């Protein structure tokens, strides 16, 4: 079982109504699950606060996407017609 970095979870279906999800989470990060498998995290702006983010280099983003593409493909296909 994969370790989650938050104790708040939601399904892909619940992610469709983001306003409700933000209200229910109390502004904290939410682990998004698909059939009990972690797909990613939804992080409301309130949870980020004043954290400074550095922009990623294009090559780094492309490398990460290629690494994760096969794992993300079922989710992308599911969301395609929603």
| pLDDT value at residue 10 | 95
pLDDT at residue 76 in the model: 82
The list of the chain residues with pLDDT below 50 reads none
d(CA 33, CA 42) in angstroms, rounded, equals 11
pTM of the predicted model over 0.75: no
Which has the closest alpha carbon to 34: 60, 16, 59, 52? Answer: 16
Q: Of all helices (H) and strands (E), which one includes residue 22?
A: helix 18-25
């Amino acid at each position: 079982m994969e370790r989650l970095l938050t104790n708040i979870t939601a399904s892909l279906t619940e992610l469709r109504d983001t306003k409700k999800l933000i209200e229910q989470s109390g502004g904290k990060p939410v682990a998004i699950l698909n059939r009990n498998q972690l797909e990613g995290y939804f992080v409301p702006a309130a949870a980020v606060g004043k954290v400074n983010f550095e922009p990623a280099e294009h090559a780094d983003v492309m490398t990460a996407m290629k690494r994760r593409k096969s794992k993300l493909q079922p989710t992308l296909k599911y969301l395609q017609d929603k």
